[in-house]
Amino acid sequence: MLLPSRVKHRKWHSGRGRGGLVGTETRGTELSFGSYGLKSMGAHWISSKQLEASRRLIMRFLKKGGKLWIRIFPTKPITNKGVEISMGCGKGAVSHYVFPVRPGRVIFEIDGLPKEQAKEALEGAGDKLPVKTKFITRE
């Protein structure tokens, strides 16, 4: 799974909730490396486990014939407290890391596959993610 190796702050404020992911993305909206990509059409937190599941599905299609670029990296720590812990007693330990994605962000890019196979691979990867996605091409 994707995890940051070092962090400046171990625990972050959670922000204004997932409804706080308002507006469209301004960075990372165009294809930069590959010929085909998977673009987010909604706002959600994407966890490192979900990214890993999508990556494994794409790698099955690529086998040894193409290249994959993952354009997002989960750096936001999410904490939770243990079961049967009373109110108070601090914030809780970091359980996993997420990337807050907004509409328009390119999540994956691939190259070296025919268009039909690339579309099948990226749409299958999009099914593993908690956000609606769209297949895009460089054309």
Residue 50: its pLDDT value, please?
97
Q: Which domain holds residue 53?
A: 28-81+89-137
- Pair of tokens at residue 2: 């994707």
- 6 in a structural domain: no
- 37 in a structural domain: yes
- What CATH number should be reported for the domain holding residue 72? 3.90.1170.10
Total count of residues recorded for the chain: 139
The series of mean pLDDT values per 10 residues for the chain, 139 residues long, is: 89 75 87 96 94 96 92 95 89 94 96 95 96 93
Residue 20: its pLDDT value, please?
63
Residue 18: its pLDDT value, please?
56
Q: Would you call 111 exposed, middle or buried from its count of C-beta atoms within 10 A (0-12, 13-18, 19+)?
A: middle
- 15 in a structural domain: no
Residue 89: its pLDDT value, please?
87
Per 3-state DSSP, the chain is made up of helix, strand and coil in percentages (nearest 5) of 20, 25, 50
Count of structural domains within the chain: 1
Among candidate residues 49, 57, 58, the one with its CA nearest the CA of residue 98: 49
- 23 in a structural domain: no
Residue 17: its pLDDT value, please?
63
pTM greater than 0.85: yes
Q: Would you call 29 exposed, middle or buried from its count of C-beta atoms within 10 A (0-12, 13-18, 19+)?
A: middle
